[in-house]
A and B are shown apart, each in its own frame.
Chain A
C-alpha cells in the first residue's frame, strides 16, 4: 500500500511521544530526586535538573540502609527462582511428553491444577508450610499418635530456600516446554533411538540444545519476576538483612513523624530498578518473544 496520510502520521507520532513521556517522566523524576539534597527536595517547585548528590545519596543508601546486602539478596532470589524453575520444569515436561508410564495423566493433571490458584489467595497456609516444612508430618503424626513426628520442626523463615522454593511451585514453565516439545519432529527421537541413545542422552544432546532460545526467553521473564517479588519476601523475612531490595524500599518510605527523606528513597528505588531495566533494554527481542509465547 502506498498511502499518504500526513495528518494521521503526525497524530500517531504525537500519541506515541506522549505515551513515551508518561513512561519516562516518572523514571526521570526518580533519578532527579535521587540526586538532590534534603533541602533541595523540600523546595517548591522542585528542580527539573539533576543535582550533585547522586553518589553521596547512593553511599548513604548502601551503608545506612544496608542496600548492598538487599540488592545481593534480590539477585540471589531472582537467580534461584530462574534456575530452579527452569530446571524442575524442563525435566518434568520431558517426562510427560516423551515417556509412557503408569499415572502419566495423573501427574500431568496434578501439575496442571497448580496453574489455577496464585500464591496471593493462599498466603496464610503457604506461610505456615514455609514456617515449618515438617508440618504435614506433624499432622500425620498426631493422627497416628506418633510423638516423634509431632515435634519435628524445619523453619524456612529468613532463609533463601524459603524465599525461593514456594515461588518455584507453579507450572507455567512446564507447560511452555511441553508445548515446545510437542512441536519437535518425531523423526529426531526415532533417529536418536536407532543410534542407540539413552533417554538421558537424547535429552541432553538433542532436546536441550533445541530449546535454547525458549530457555533464554523464559529466563528473562522469570528473572524479572523474581527480582520484583514483594508479597512473599514481606511475609517470610523478619530479619531486615534477609529482605530483598523492593521490601527495603518500603521501609525507607517517609513516615509522617520523621524528616521526609524522599531523596534517599528515590535513590534506592533507582538502584533497585536499574538491573531489571538493563536486562530488558539489552535483551528486548528475546523478552518479547518469551512474553508472547508464554501468553499463547
Chain B
C-alpha cells in the first residue's frame, strides 16, 4: 500500500522549498532555482562534493535501472512486438496488439468488471469510513480503543482478507453463507457472477476502510475548533456541523482518498481476486490487473499482456496526475 501513498511527498517533493507554482504540471517539469538563492530542494547549507553523492545515489539508481527503468521500457517495446509462447521468434507488429486488444470482447468485459468493482469498492469504503470517522470524532470516551481495533485490517494481507471472506461466504461451510441461505437467498459465488463480484468488493473494502478512516480522522481533527464552536453557539447540532462545516473543509482529503481508492482497486487487489475467485466464474471477477497476469503467465500471450501493461501504465500516470491536483489543495493536518 505504501508504494501508492506516494501521492505522498509528491507535491512538496516536486516544489521543494520554493514558492508554490500554480500548476502541478509546471511543478513537474520546471526545474532549477525557485527562490533565487539555492536550487530547489537543496539545503542552503550544503556540501560541494561530487564523488560522495555519486556513491550515495548509486545503489538506488542501480536497482531502479535494473528493476524499474529497463522493465518499463521493455513493456513499452513488447507492446509493439509479437513473440511466440516459447520466446523463440519476435516480430515487430506495430499497433496490432492494441487493435486486437480493443477488438476483444473479453478485454472490454474485463474493463467493465474493473469499473464496477472499483466504483463499488470506492463508494462502500469511503462511506463506511466516513461514518466511522464521524462517530469516533464525536464521542469522547473509548476513542483510542475503537481506533486500535479498526486499524487491524491494515496488518492483514489482502490475500488473507480474501481467503477469510471466501470461507465465511462459502456456500457449504461458511457461517455467513448459511445465514444468507437461511434468509432464502441462493448464495453461491462459485456459480453466480454477481455473488462473486460482491465477494471481492467486500473483501477489498474490508481491507481498505481502515486506511480511509485514519486519513479522515486526521482531517477531522484539523478542522479549527473556533469555527465549530461559533456554529455551536449559533445553534447548529453535531450532524449539521459535520455536514455544513467539517465535510466541506475536509473535501480535499475526500478527493485524495477517492483517487487513492481507485489506485488501490485497480492495482492492489490482485491478491484478493487470485486467492478468492481466480477471476471466475467465467471471467466475472477478472479485473484488468488479473488479466495482465493471466495472459502473460498462464496463456503466455506476451504481446497482448504487454499491450495491457501499457494501457495500465497510462491509467497509473493519469491517476498520479490526479493525485497531484488533489494533494496540491490538501489541508495540512497532523495526528
* Residues of A bordering B, CB below 8 Å: 1, 3, 5, 8-9, 11-13, 15-16, 19-20, 22-24, 26-27, 29-30, 33, 41-42, 44-46, 87-89, 91-92, 94-102, 104-105, 107-112, 114-130, 133, 135-136, 165-166, 168-172, 174-176, 178-179, 181-182, 184, 186-187, 189-190, 193, 199-200, 221-222, 224-225, 227-228, 230-231, 234-235, 246, 249-250, 253, 260, 262, 265-266, 269, 272-273, 276-277, 279-281, 284, 287-289, 291-292, 294-296
Interface residues of B, count at CB 8 A: 121
Known: A20-B150, A107-B61. A99 touches B50 (CB 8 A): yes
Known: A97-B41, A110-B64. A289 touches B335 (CB 8 A): yes
In contact, A99 and B47 (Cβ under 8 angstroms): yes
Query: What would 16 A/B residue contacts be, using CB atoms closer than 8 Å?
Result: A16-B136, A45-B175, A91-B57, A99-B47, A99-B53, A107-B61, A108-B41, A111-B60, A124-B306, A182-B17, A189-B45, A231-B293, A277-B155, A284-B151, A288-B151, A294-B2
**Within 8 Å CB of A125, what residues of B?**
70-72, 74-75, 78, 306, 309
In contact, B16 and A120 (Cβ under 8 angstroms): no
**Contact partner, B42, options A16, A97, A287, Cβ 8 Å:** A97
**Contact partner, A19, options B13, B67, B150, B312, Cβ 8 Å:** B150
**Contact partner, B139, options A12, A178, A277, Cβ 8 Å:** A12
Secondary structure at the A interface, as helix, strand, loop or mixed, is helix
**Contact partner, A121, options B10, B17, B215, B292, Cβ 8 Å:** B292
How distant is A199 from chain B, measured CB to nearest CB, in Å?
5
In contact, B48 and A100 (Cβ under 8 angstroms): yes
Digitize B146-169: 1 where CB-to-A-CB distance is under 8 Å, 0 elsewhere: 111111111111111101111110
In contact, B229 and A1 (Cβ under 8 angstroms): yes
B238 near A: Cβ within 8 Å?
yes
**Contact partner, A115, options B46, B136, B320, Cβ 8 Å:** B320
In contact, B297 and A22 (Cβ under 8 angstroms): no
In contact, A262 and B167 (Cβ under 8 angstroms): yes
In the complex, what distance in Å separates the CA atom of A10 from the CA atom of B320? 41
**Contact partner, B159, options A89, A172, A230, Cβ 8 Å:** A230
In contact, A46 and B163 (Cβ under 8 angstroms): no
* 9 closest Cβ pairs, A-B complex: A175-B9, A228-B157, A101-B50, A230-B271, A125-B71, A95-B53, A95-B56, A12-B135, A125-B74
In contact, A124 and B75 (Cβ under 8 angstroms): yes
**Within 8 Å CB of A118, what residues of B?**
3-4, 267-268, 316
**Within 8 Å CB of B69, what residues of A?**
110, 114
In contact, A129 and B66 (Cβ under 8 angstroms): yes
Within 8 A of A (CB), among B247-284: 256, 267-268, 270-271, 274-275
How distant is B42 from chain A, measured CB to nearest CB, in Å?
6
In contact, A9 and B160 (Cβ under 8 angstroms): no
**Within 8 Å CB of B75, what residues of A?**
121-122, 124-125
In the complex, what distance in Å separates the CA atom of A104 from the CA atom of B53? 9
**Within 8 Å CB of B170, what residues of A?**
262
B220 near A: Cβ within 8 Å?
no
Known: A13-B139, A118-B316, A121-B309. A42 touches B173 (CB 8 A): yes
In the complex, what distance in Å separates the CA atom of A112 from the CA atom of B146? 37
B6 near A: Cβ within 8 Å?
yes
Known: A126-B67, A186-B43. A295 touches B142 (CB 8 A): no
B68 near A: Cβ within 8 Å?
yes
Nearest to A96 among chain B residues (CB) is B41
**Within 8 Å CB of A112, what residues of B?**
13-14
**Contact partner, B16, options A128, A182, A284, Cβ 8 Å:** A182
How distant is B294 from chain A, measured CB to nearest CB, in Å?
11
Known: A22-B206, A295-B7, A295-B215. A272 touches B157 (CB 8 A): yes
B102 near A: Cβ within 8 Å?
no
B116 near A: Cβ within 8 Å?
no
**Contact partner, B289, options A114, A120, A288, Cβ 8 Å:** A120
In contact, B139 and A189 (Cβ under 8 angstroms): no
B131 near A: Cβ within 8 Å?
yes
**Within 8 Å CB of A284, what residues of B?**
147-148, 151
B1 near A: Cβ within 8 Å?
yes
**Contact partner, B151, options A92, A95, A117, A280, Cβ 8 Å:** A280
**Within 8 Å CB of B68, what residues of A?**
114, 117, 169-170
In contact, B5 and A19 (Cβ under 8 angstroms): no
In the complex, what distance in Å separates the CA atom of A133 from the CA atom of B5? 28
**Within 8 Å CB of A182, what residues of B?**
12, 16-17, 41, 43
